[in-house]
Amino acid sequence: MSMRKIYVFLMGILLLSTATRLSAQVSAYGFAESAGSYAALGGTNSTATGDDGGQNGISIGFNFTYGGSVYTHFCINTNGWIRLGTAATTIGAFSYTNLLSNTATHAPLIAAIWDDNHRNTGAITYSLTGAPGSQVLTVDWNNVNIGGGGSTSAANLASYQIKLYETTNVIEIIYGTLNLAGTLTASIGLNDLTSFLV
């Protein structure tokens, strides 16, 4: 199965001091694109289900630096995003508005396909792999409904992942099958407390 990967990385990461990297805003991050293959994740099943469902306070398993802050926990939403931190503000209400700005309610946020999605089918799972120092957190939306209005259409299904890499703080977004029908308004991008990137 073909797919596309989007790597999000801090430009010039090897040239920046630790102090500079820790204070970098996501608006200074860069994108790189590559091709590969999507594979469904078998990890822990998320309790985020239904329309606008969420799960808060999940351990990343390592310290992850993002937008100048260090995070140890994240939240999952059925609307195709994760939020860094222990709790997502009003995780259900307005979690579908797909507004990527530095004033968005859910910042700091990483959005793979942020829309008014629905998990009435498929799976949302997460898993920590690798040895300490080079661990990877993967969050996987496998064959879940996407589209406006909390759609449960059998035609609008998608599979995609967000990966967070320990030490390098790279973010990888991987897309598998995307069965898109009708009008979609999904956002793909990042925000922190002071900037955003779409």
pTM as predicted:
0.83
State which residues form the domain around 27: 2-197
**How do the pLDDT tens digits run along the chain, 198 residues long?**
444 444 443 332 222 222 334 457 888 888 777 777 889 988 999 999 888 889 999 999 999 999 989 999 999 999 899 999 987 655 555 565 666 666 666 789 899 988 888 888 889 999 999 999 999 999 999 998 887 665 667 778 889 999 999 999 999 999 998 877 666 777 788 888 888 777
For 97, half-sphere exposure in the C-beta direction (CA atoms, 13 angstrom radius) is 15
Pairing of strands 109-114, 81-84: antiparallel
* Rounded Cα–Cα distance for residues 174 and 38 (Å): 7
Q: Tokens 């498929």 appear where? A: 122
* pLDDT at 15 (0 to 100): 21
Element holding 2 (H helix, E strand): strand 2-10
Count of domains for the chain = 1
* Rounded Cα–Cα distance for residues 90 and 173 (Å): 25
